[in-house]
Structure 1
């Protein structure tokens, strides 16, 4: 039985929650993390709730997945690796291309190189945290009820206020449907490309060296504990910080763009199923709720939970690299692993908001991030 588990990015949002649940189940967890300031703040060891939640419960290694010695130290004696460490900002990835490729692709390749060339390691399974971003735009049906996959939206169309996807030969709007694991892979951001390559490296190399791979394509993960200071990822955190600072919320596009928001506890449960069940070996799974939620609905739910009436501006602004719609088809993970998400969006938002209310009001760095993207030509 696998007992020793390495989690790269183990002090992050998903990693810390997963670490605690695995420890509770009797596993011995090693967490490798570089305590990035963008996620953990300027003084992580003193101020990061995520780090402080695990430090006395796991074997913590402060290190970086791009450093071979750190990886070799962390891998030694492990039965399985859950590879969560990655840079995650979609917009930021479009101008920090080399950095995202280095952290997400090169580090994964280095990890596999170590596993392929170290005869004494004991790793039997590698789980990779993939992403819904590898799909790019989601799955649709055309007027003939055929599955189609629209290309990235054009800058000129969005400039004129046309934010929906289109498809050659279609005069009527396409019908959005759930995206399954066999859907077309065509990421629209550098981040998405790096996650695609990560997944393919793990799923291709591991079987050749006697290791079982599992890939989870997580949708938009949220919940108590996620960073409220990182302005590059997570609209729930961004909007919550704006509300707590009593600032206007700028809703991009027309507010009808949608995502599948999945609660952290459900993500942890799905990942542990992948670790414990042999049926997961060599398989790729979506992890989400199977429901699409618009950005406008997100704002309204947050306002209700915070009892706030801050102004909402539907601006028509947009970011290059963003998709319009995507939500998960969960048929495969339900049938093979028996996974069913337990927390609805409405319930999850309530849990998240109740936690945010207990946190100190952080300085809003969102405007700076938008200015940075605008300077790089990625925000219009």
Structure 2
């Protein structure tokens, strides 16, 4: 099969490309080599791009340009649509840009699929746990509840837990695929719209559609220069530069971290299962890990005597807890993540220590959010 991967030079995309090549697929990559991810000179600065250069059919292009979609679709059997702007914080002040890339870019893909000749049989969309917003919680009297965003006044008073309307602390539950969708960031909203567009349009033209709601994907190969790439890269940069860590909120906010190899395996399972259409799957581990535990684990593996400071700062648009219920992916995809968080961090830190030492310009991203009133 001939597979088109949009965003195929990125973290997930480059790892997926190499794995598909190993399995005998023909891979075409469409990627605009965004400087924020790949640097100004990708052939020299981007290990992600270097890993696939000369191995895949690489086409530099932009998903927001219909002409680029028309260039790459010929003779392709499936599309794995990874290209997107990511990062909840940045999405809250680059609204037009995120909407243009994530929503309009997907719309242009679908417009070409509906109106022009091709042989695409399946579209796999990389969605996000961000579509669940604050997620799913339990109340002792009300049962299952889907709370709205935390109140600004509570956050300013360092009262960070999610509460009911009566002010009672709620118990977080894993989100299953039938959980209420109520994204609270622009990024999350764009991913929900992407899902709806793909599911609706593909079914109308007899193309199988799958959406994978990824939790926090991490691992060897992720960008170590992008300040919006996630806390593992940010914390690693700070620790290795002997900087103390600044932990937002109280450090007890939690996420579900899934290693890159398991994320790639989920995509391949979705590609090779021929009995999928209009299916949505959570892709995570089902295990919740606090940000404070992440910091402590990284500090242990890097063997650095830095301090971990709980700052009480918070970002507008951030959620408190989210972890996945993955039983549907286990049943339908036979997806079982194999790499534990401890093993994944060991693999990640071992890889980081072999890379050229760099420094993420975190202050720039924080200052941008502060200027927009999004960092408190």
2:106 is the counterpart of 1:108: yes
TM-score after normalising by structure 1: 0.98
Larger mean Cα displacement after TM superposition, 173-182 or 286-295: 173-182
Cα offset, 1:361, TM superposition = 1.4
Aligned to 1:38: 36
User: Equivalents in 1 of 2:173, 2:249: separation in Å?
Assistant: 21
Q: CA deviation at 1:169?
A: 3.6
Which of residues 243, 255, 264 in structure 2 aligns to 1:268? 264
Are 1:224 and 2:205 counterparts?
A: no
Tell me whether 293-302 or 70-79 shows the greater mean CA deviation. 70-79
Q: What's 1:157 paired with? A: 154
Contact 1:77 1:121 in 2 (8 A): yes
Q: What does the per-residue CA deviation read over 1:2-35, in whole Å, with 9 as the maximum and x for residues that have no partner?
A: x000000000000000000001000000000001
Other structure's SS at 2:275 match: helix
Aligned to 2:204: 208
Distance 2:361 2:40 in 1: 14
Partner of 1:343: 339
Match 1:246 to one of 220, 242, 246: 242
Instruction: Name the TM-score, length of structure 2 as normaliser.
Output: 0.99
Superposition deviation, residue 75 in structure 1? 1.2
Alpha-carbon spacing, 1:369–1:170, altered in 2? closer, same or farther (3 Å):
closer
Runs of 4+ that moved beyond 3 A: none
Is 1:122 paired with 2:142?
A: no
Q: Which position in structure 1 is the counterpart of 2:297?
A: 301
Q: Deviations over 1:100-124 (max 9, x none)?
A: 0000000100100000001x20000
Instruction: Report the Cα distance in structure 1 between the residues aligned to 2:15 and 2:229, rounded to whole angstroms.
Output: 18
* Structure 2: segments with no counterpart, 5+ residues: none
**What's the CA shift for 1:132?**
0.1
Cα shift at 1:363: 2.4
The RMSD of aligned alpha carbons is 0.9
**Distance apart, 1:174 and its partner CA:** 1.5
Confirm or deny that 1:277 pairs with 2:281. no
1:357 corresponds to which of 339, 353, 372: 353
Number of aligned residue pairs: give it. 376
- Among candidates 173, 185, 188, match of residue 189 of structure 1: 185
Contact 1:279–1:337 (CA under 8 A) maintained in structure 2? no
- CA apart distance, 1:170: 5.7
Q: Which residue of 2 aligns with 1:371?
A: 367
